[in-house]
Amino acid sequence: MHLNEPDKMSTRDVELFQKRAAAAETEIRKLKEALKSLYDDVKVHGNNETMIRLQNENAKLKHRLAILKRAVECEKSIASENVIQDQNPTLSIQELLHSLFREAIDAAYPELTDLPVIIVSNDKTPQFGDYQCNSAMLISNLIKAKGTKTSPRDVANKIVSKVKSNSLIERVEVAGVGFVNIFLKRDFAASILTTMLKRRQVLPPCVPKQRVLVDFSSPNIAKEMHVGHLRSTIIGDSISRVLEYLGHDVLRINHIGDWGTQFGMLVAHLQDRFPDYLIVSPPISSLQEFYKESKKRFDEDPLFKKRAYECVVKLQSFDADVLKAWQMICSVSRKVNQQLYDRLEIKITEIGESFYQSRMVDIVEELESRGFLEEDDGRKVMWGTKPGVDIPLTMVKSDGGFTYDTSDMAAIKYRLEEQKADWVIYVVDAGQATHFDTLKKCAKRAGIITSKHRIDHVEFGVVLGEDKKKFKTRSGETIQLSKLLDEGLRRALEKLKEKERDKFLTNDELLAAQESIAYGCIKYSDLSHNRIKNYVFSFDRMLDDKGNTAVYLLYALTRIRSIARAANVSQEQLRAAAETTAISLEHEKEFKLAKVLLKFSDVLLEITKDLCLHHLCEYCYEISTTFTEFYDSCYCVEKNQVGEVVKINMGRLMLAEATAMIMEQAFNLLGLKPVERM
Ligand code: ARG
């Protein structure tokens, strides 16, 4: 079946989409009314059976409602995009196809509701289409279960006959047992990429805006940040970047551990070591050392231990001198951390555990009065499910003090109710999975988390050394992060010198390249691994210029940009050319590259589902290998024997520039900083 429509949607199409959006809105209104009458029903005939039936129906309706709402948003955006196409060129191909096939399937089987729409992209076997709709098998089973004879191929044919003509699909064909192979239109790809060049900007797909709080980095004040916190910092920053790019309202929060009993010994030790600390700011250079000294005294000297406990009590009752000492200790640590954030260009706002002091009192009081707390060996605990089933949160210790759990309960309430977050993301190592699981359950029990909230624990594995053991220095100490970054810089420079780049680059360029490579490779090697797994930290591997590494990709981008530069065509000229010249997509490799570029929005949408950034890294790698294929078979610039440029293929240089723009945008989301020359 060929769908030979003009490449832009006609006014009729736009009207159609608008009508469908309006129809869906009417359906939503009706569903809301139905829901309300269901609730009324429950009130009147509140027996158990009807209750369960109604609850089931209610859940189904809610689900349908959510799908419809999403559909309306999508329809509206499609409609508006086509009226003013320049405003939002980066569409989600998956969503567009989903919407087209949703309509086709509904039209093919109007008597059935909620039939599954399954769209997958197909990179491995291009002869079977760019995408596939794999709904026919499931639908045929559903129909057979109702007693009607049919086959998946019949279903597939029926669906195909109902696909409306549109600007996206070149043709569809039924294959095998009942797959629907979908081939995209060149003109569609061309129009999206051309618009992108004209806009000089890669716009994100449109999603409903939410307020998202990302809790990341979050080191503990008393001790120095370790590699686990570095992972949280890198992953959390990149998640924030993606969500910001999608237009969400993102709160980047550093939930530092700046409260708790360990401060007692630190304060007591500070008072001894620097008796005039109230007048002269104490010159603590390494908090790590300071912590160790005080811990040693705490363990060995009972008198000191007693004083440490007294300091905790004083701190919690806000004794002015002790508070000052505590602040001094925090500020030493804050300075060290800030240096790291500055080097890695990471923005984050501190709202540490101490912020919740009064709120911890409040939440304990509230939970207690509502009967959620139970006595357990002198402690007050809250169970996530039934007592004895899991590990409870300790809300009050036997000595009356609060814990990490208490601060997290207070924090989640504050975040959802006062900061009005719709979505909270905790970027914390997998070792704390039980803690966050129970926290979620308790907050749900207390009605703090409701059905409109989304809560994710973005967990990650530990960092291993090349010996596959926990990443430590040779003498078994935790590795200082500033030293690690220094080592990265040293190795990056070594690498650049090995390639004799120091002979071609100016000093400034060399420094920029060195930093870009060093920090880029540390970030990228973390992000490119599936975060759930442990990962081996190896400078040798991350600085390799072959394979899926930051170095390879950063080079790839500079190389792409250098093609036009070598032909004396500026970026600006290329983008301006988009007004008059057609982007070249005739060659099979050109079109292949364009189709990879078109997937950018879908990769981002996938990341919003599982919050795994390796999808974006794999995508960058795919762009760069597909670009190489294109470049190997398509001349962009032709030169004569003496190396003079004799022919410039503008359409191809435009495709190269579109590739560079998307790569650059993706790098930005991964926290990589491309340089012009390296
Ligand atoms: N400070 C904690 C640690 O180092 C991480 C805090 C994570 N955030 C939270 N809301 N619990 O283990």
pLDDT digits (tens, 9 = 90+) for 642-674: 989 999 999 999 999 999 999 999 999 999 999
pLDDT digits (tens, 9 = 90+) for 392-408: 999 999 988 899 999 99
Do 344 and 361 lie in one domain? The reply is no
- Domain with residue 117: its CATH number is 3.30.1360.70
Ligand 1, atom 3: closest residue by C-alpha = 219
* 436/316 same-domain check: no
70/103 same-domain check:
no
189-228 per-position pLDDT tens digit: 999 999 999 999 999 998 999 999 999 999 998 777 888 8
Nearest CA, atom 6, ligand 1? 218
Q: What pLDDT, on a 0 to 100 scale, did the predictor assign at position 129?
A: 97
Whether the per-residue pLDDT at 274 is higher than 80: the answer is: yes
Pocket test for ligand 1, best of 230, 393, 415, 428 (most atoms within 8 A of CB): 428
The reply to whether 23 and 159 lie within a common domain is no
CA distance 481 to 336: 10
Q: Is residue 70 part of a domain?
A: yes
In this structure, the residue with its CA closest to atom 8 of ligand 1 is 255
* Least confident among 44-53, 219-228, 269-278, 486-495: 44-53
Same domain, 662 and 619: yes
CA distances from 347 to 352, 546, 665 (A): 15, 31, 18
Q: Which one of 38, 60, 83 terminates a domain?
A: 83
CA–centroid distance, residue 428 to ligand 1 (Å): 7
- Report which ligand 1 atom has the smallest distance to the Cα of 229: 4
569 domain-assigned? yes
**Is 244 among the domain residues?**
no
Residue 452 located in a structural domain: yes
Which ligand 1 atom sits closest to the C-alpha of 256? 1
Residue 173 confidence class, pLDDT cut points 50, 70, 90: very high
75: helix, strand or coil: helix
Question: 548 and 491, same structural domain?
Answer: yes
Kindly report the protein residue whose alpha carbon is nearest to atom 11 of ligand 1.
Answer: 408
Task: Say what the pLDDT of residue 51 is.
Answer: 63
The residue among 50, 83, 116 that closes a domain is 83
Answer for the pair 365, 396: CB distance below 8 angstroms, yes or no.
no
pLDDT at 1 over 50: no
Number of structural domains found in the chain: 5
Query: Does residue 450 lie within any of the structural domains?
Result: yes
Q: What is the pLDDT of residue 83?
A: 35
Q: Which atom of ligand 1 is nearest to the CA of 404?
A: 11
Ligand 1: residues with CB < 6 A are 215, 218-220, 255, 257, 408, 411, 426, 428
Distance, in Å, from the CA atom of 382 to the CA atom of 360, rounded to the nearest integer, reads: 14
Please tell me the residue having the least CA distance from ligand 1 atom 4: 219
Residues 557 and 632 placed together within one structural domain of the fold: yes
Same domain? 603 vs 658: yes
Dist. CA 134 → ligand 1 center (Å): 43
- Asked if residue 105 and residue 73 are part of one domain, the reply reads no
DSSP states along 79-108: HHHHHSGGG-----HHHHHHHHHHHHHHHH
In the reported structure, the alpha carbon of residue 288 is separated from the centroid of ligand 1 by a whole-number distance in angstroms of 18
Considering the domain boundaries, does residue 216 fall inside one? no
What is the helix (H) or strand (E) element at residue 333, kind and residue range? helix 320-344
Work out which ligand 1 atom sits closest to the CA atom of 435.
Answer: 11
- The verdict on 594 and 505 lying in the same domain is yes
Whether 337 and 356 share a structural domain: no
Average pLDDT rounded to a whole number, residues 223-240: 93
Ligand 1: centre distance to CA 207 (Å): 30
| Full residue range of the structural domain in which residue 302 is found | 262-350
CATH code at 598?
Answer: 1.10.730.10
631 touches 660 (CB < 8 A): no
Asked if the structure places residue 238 within a domain, the reply is no
Quick check: is 336 in a domain? yes
Distance CA 614, CA 461 (A): 14
Domain final residue pick, 53, 83, 113: 83
Both 314 and 441 in a single domain?
no
Number of the ligand 1 atom closest to the C-alpha atom of 432: 12
213, 214, 218, 405: residue to mutate for ligand 1 pocket, most atoms within 8 A of CB: 218
Atom of ligand 1 at shortest distance to CA of 408? Answer: 10
